[in-house]
Amino acid sequence: KQEVTQIPAALSVPEGENLVLNCSFTDSAIYNLQWFRQDPGKGLTSLLLIQSSQREQTSGRLNASLDKSSGRSTLYIAASQPGDSATYLCAVSNGNTPLVFGKGTRLSVIA
């Protein structure tokens, strides 16, 4: 059974710092990996999707990498801003199976 772990569980950084969020998964036979953002009491916002054949995806200040063989992904946020404060969720799918989520990393960016 696929399990997804996210480290750290919580992170607090001053504005302007670059930061890395980590995600690991137990079954490397994934089809794709997605990173989401969730604001308190709200739904999910999809940030990046990486297919298993890809090594990274970029969107603005966000860069996600995937090392499928080692079961790891990282989300890099450059020049963090207070508006980046949210919970970041990593999720993987083995293809036809539904996404399995990690518990998330709660990020606070302090002005």
51 binds other proteins (CB under 8 A): yes
Nearest to 85 by CA among 32, 30, 28, 10: 10
73 binds other proteins (CB under 8 A): no
State which of positions 85-104 bind other proteins (CB under 8 A): 89, 91, 93, 95-96, 98-104
Q: For tokens 């994934």, what's the residue?
A: 30
Provide the token pair at 52.
């298993």
CB of 87 to other proteins, least distance (A): 9
Q: Coil, strand, or helix at residue 83?
A: helix
Region binding other proteins by CB under 8 A among candidate stretches 11-19, 42-50, 56-64, 65-73: 42-50
Max alpha carbon distance in the chain (Å)?
A: 42
Nearest to 21 by CA among 103, 96, 94, 100: 103
Q: Which is nearer to other proteins, 46 or 81 (CB)?
A: 46
Question: By the criterion CB under 8 A, which residues form the site for other proteins?
Answer: 31-32, 34, 36, 41-44, 46, 49, 51, 89, 91, 93, 95-96, 98-104
